[in-house]
C-alpha cells in the first residue's frame, strides 16, 4: 500500500462497519422470499400464456378436431419447453464474486453472449413445430372448403407476420450478442 | 466452519468496512442505493468467505468480491450515460466553478463522477488507486497485468495534472 493520493478520500466513511451477521441472515431470508415470489409470478405469467393453448387443444379434441388439437398441443408443449429453458438458465447462474475482476466480467459477458446468440435454439425454436402445425392445419382445412388459392391468400398475412416477429427477435438478439462480443474481445486485449 | 467464517468476516469488517463504503459511494451516486450496494457487498462477502482457503490475501478476496458485486450492480442499474473507456476521456467531468476547483473535496467529487462514467475495470483500478493500493496489488485483485494497471493510473494522473496542481509524488503506484 502506498500513500493514498487524496487523503480526504480515505478519511471518508471512517465510521463504516460491516452489516451484522444476524442482519445478513435476515436479508438472505428476505432475498429468498423475493426470489420465490418472482418465480411464482413468472410461473403465473407462463400459465396465462399456456392455459389458453392447452384449453383450446382440449376443446378441439373434444369436438373431434384432432389435427387442431395436435397443433395446439404442440404449441403448448413449445411454451412449456421455453419456460423450462428460462428457469434452467436462471438457475445455472453460478455466483463466484471472489474471482479476479477481469475473469468475473468475462464470465458475465460470455454467459450473456451465449444466451443471446442461441436464442433461435432455446427460445424461438420450440415454438416452430406448434406454429407450423397450426398454420398447416388451418390452411389444409381452408383449402378443403375454399380451395388452396383462397387458403394461401388467407394464410399469407399471419404466416408472414409470425415469420417477421421470429426474425426480428433473432436479429435483435444477434445484434445485442455482437455488442457483447465486442466487449469480450476488448477484455481479451487488455493485457 | 460458520465460526471461522464469522471470524474472517469480522476481521474483514475491521480492516475494510470504510473502504467498502467509499467504493459503494463511488460507484453509486444515490446515497440510499449506495447503502444497499454496501450491504449487498457484505452479504456476498459473508457467503463467499465459506470458500476462502487462503489462496490469496484477505484484502485481495474482499476487494475482488466488492468490486465484482459493484460492477454487477452497475450493469443491472438503469442505463445511464454511455460508458467511455479511460483512454478516450480527455478531461475530468466538468465543473462550472473554476475557483472551487482548487478544493480537494471538489476534486474527489469530480473523480467520483469520472468513476461512474468509466467501464467497470477502469473504475475498479481508479478506486483501488484512490485507496492507496500498489499496482501489483491492483493487478492481483483485478486480474489485469501490472503494466495495464500502470497505464490506467498514469492516464488518471495525466487527467488530474491537466486540471489541478497535483503534486507529483502523490500515490505513485510501485
For residue range B140-158, list pLDDT tens digits in order: 999 999 999 999 999 888 8
In a domain, A3, yes or no: no
DSSP assigned state of A124:
I
pLDDT band at B102 (very low <50, low <70, confident <90, very high): low
Q: With an 8 Å Cβ cutoff, are B18 and A4 in contact?
A: no
Q: Which site among B132, B135, B163, B172 would you substitute to test the A interface, given the most A Cβ atoms closer than 10 Å to its Cβ?
A: B132
- In the predicted model, is pLDDT for residue A143 greater than 60? yes
Q: With an 8 Å Cβ cutoff, are A16 and B120 in contact?
A: no
Q: With an 8 Å Cβ cutoff, are A14 and B111 in contact?
A: no
Q: How far is CA A60 from CA A8, A55, A81, B72, in A?
A: 74, 9, 22, 48
CB B116 within 8 A of CB B134: no
Residues of the domain holding A80: 20-188
Secondary structure class of B48 (helix, strand, coil): helix
User: Which residues lie closer than 8 Å to B172 by C-beta, 6 or more apart?
Assistant: A2
- In the predicted model, is pLDDT for residue B17 greater than 50? yes
Q: Tell me the three cell numbers of residue B121.
A: 475495470
Q: What is the pLDDT of residue B45?
A: 93
Q: What is the mean pLDDT of the segment spanning A31-50?
A: 83
Q: Rounded to a whole number, what is the distance in Å from the CA of A174 to chain B's nearest CA?
A: 19
In a domain, A183, yes or no: yes
DSSP string, A85-122: HHHHHHHT----TTS-HHHHHHHHHHHHHHHHHTHIII
Q: With an 8 Å Cβ cutoff, are A27 and B107 in contact?
A: no
CB B4 within 8 A of CB B54: no
d(CA A156, CA A153): 5
| N residues, chain B | 174
CB B146 within 8 A of CB B80: no
Q: How far is CA A85 from CA A73, A89, B3, B14, B88, in A?
A: 18, 6, 39, 43, 40
Q: Which site among B3, B7, B18 would you substitute to test the A interface, given the most A Cβ atoms closer than 10 Å to its Cβ?
A: B18
Mean pLDDT across chain A, nearest whole number? 88
pLDDT digits (tens, 9 = 90+) for A129-138: 999 999 999 9
Spatial CA neighbour of A117 closest among A190, A181, A45, A23: A181
What is the ipTM score, two decimals?
0.73
In a domain, A11, yes or no: no
Number of domains chain A contains: 1
Q: Tell me the three cell numbers of residue A175.
A: 445484434
Q: What is the pLDDT of residue A188?
A: 73
d(CA B109, CA A77): 55
pLDDT digits (tens, 9 = 90+) for B33-74: 999 999 999 999 998 999 999 899 999 999 999 999 999 888
Q: With an 8 Å Cβ cutoff, are A18 and B13 in contact?
A: yes
Q: What is the mean pLDDT of the segment spanning B81-101?
A: 59
pLDDT band at B170 (very low <50, low <70, confident <90, very high): very low
| Residue A4 CB coordination number (10 Å) | 17
Q: With an 8 Å Cβ cutoff, are B71 and A99 in contact?
A: no
In a domain, A10, yes or no: no
User: Which residues lie closer than 8 Å to B114 by C-beta, 6 or more apart?
Assistant: B89, B92, B93, B126, B156, B159
Q: Rounded to a whole number, what is the distance in Å from the CA of B63 to chain A's nearest CA?
A: 8
pLDDT band at A96 (very low <50, low <70, confident <90, very high): confident
CB A63 within 8 A of CB A115: no
In a domain, A125, yes or no: yes
Q: Which residue has the higher pLDDT, A1 or A8?
A: A8
pLDDT band at B172 (very low <50, low <70, confident <90, very high): very low
In a domain, A1, yes or no: no
Measured at the CA of A74, the angle between CA A69 and CA A79, to 5 degrees, comes to 125
Q: Which of A28, A95, A99 sits opposite B64 (nearest CB)?
A: A99
Q: Which of B6, B20, B104 sits opposite A8 (nearest CB)?
A: B104
Q: What is the pLDDT of residue A191?
A: 58
- In the predicted model, is pLDDT for residue A65 greater than 90? yes
In a domain, A15, yes or no: no
A5 touching B, CB under 8 A?
yes
Measured at the CA of A174, the angle between CA A173 and CA A177, to 5 degrees, comes to 85
In a domain, A2, yes or no: no
Amino acid at each position: 500500500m502506498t500513500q493514498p493520493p487524496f487523503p480526504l478520500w480515505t478519511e471518508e466513511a471512517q465510521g463504516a462497519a460491516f452489516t451484522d451477521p444476524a442482519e445478513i441472515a435476515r436479508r438472505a431470508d428476505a432475498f429468498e422470499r423475493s426470489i420465490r415470489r418472482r418465480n411464482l409470478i413468472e410461473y403465473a405469467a407462463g400459465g396465462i400464456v399456456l392455459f389458453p393453448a392447452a384449453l383450446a387443444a382440449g376443446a378441439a379434441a373434444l369436438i373431434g378436431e384432432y389435427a387442431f388439437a395436435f397443433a395446439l398441443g404442440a404449441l403448448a408443449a413449445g411454451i412449456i419447453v421455453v419456460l423450462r429453458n428460462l428457469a434452467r438458465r436462471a438457475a445455472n447462474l453460478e455466483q463466484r464474486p471472489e474471482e479476479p475482476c477481469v475473469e468475473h466480467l468475462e464470465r458475465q459477458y460470455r454467459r450473456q453472449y451465449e444466451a443471446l446468440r442461441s436464442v433461435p435454439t432455446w427460445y424461438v425454436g420450440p415454438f416452430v413445430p406448434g406454429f407450423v402445425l397450426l398454420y398447416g392445419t388451418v390452411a389444409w382445412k381452408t383449402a378443403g372448403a375454399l380451395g388452396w388459392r383462397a387458403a394461401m391468400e388467407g394464410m399469407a398475412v399471419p404466416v408472414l407476420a409470425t415469420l417477421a416477429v421470429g426474425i426480428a427477435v433473432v436479429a435483435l438478439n444477434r445484434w445485442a450478442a455482437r455488442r457483447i462480443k465486442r466487449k469480450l474481445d476488448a477484455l481479451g486485449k487488455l493485457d | 466452519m460458520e465460526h471461522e467464517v464469522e471470524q474472517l468476516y469480522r476481521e474483514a469488517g475491521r480492516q475494510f468496512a470504510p473502504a467498502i463504503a467509499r467504493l459503494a459511494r463511488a460507484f453509486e451516486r444515490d446515497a440510499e442505493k449506495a447503502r444497499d450496494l454496501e450491504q449487498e457487498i457484505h452479504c456476498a462477502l459473508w457467503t463467499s468467505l465459506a470458500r476462502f482457503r487462503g489462496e490469496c490475501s484477505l484484502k485481495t478476496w474482499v476487494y475482488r468480491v466488492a468490486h465484482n458485486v459493484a460492477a454487477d450492480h452497475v450493469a443491472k442499474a438503469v442505463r445511464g450515460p454511455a460508458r467511455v473507456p479511460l483512454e478516450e476521456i480527455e478531461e475530468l467531468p466538468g465543473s462550472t466553478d473554476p475557483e472551487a476547483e482548487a478544493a480537494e473535496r471538489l476534486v474527489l467529487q469530480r473523480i467520483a463522477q469520472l468513476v461512474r462514467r468509466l467501464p467497470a475495470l477502469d473504475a475498479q483500478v481508479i478506486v483501488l488507486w484512490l485507496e492507496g493500493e500498489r499496482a501489483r496489488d491492483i493487478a492481483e485483485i483485478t486480474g489485469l497485468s501490472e503494466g495495464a494497471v500502470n497505464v490506467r493510473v498514469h492516464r488518471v494522473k495525466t487527467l488530474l495534472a491537466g486540471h489541478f496542481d497535483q503534486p507529483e509524488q502523490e500515490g505513485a503506484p510501485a
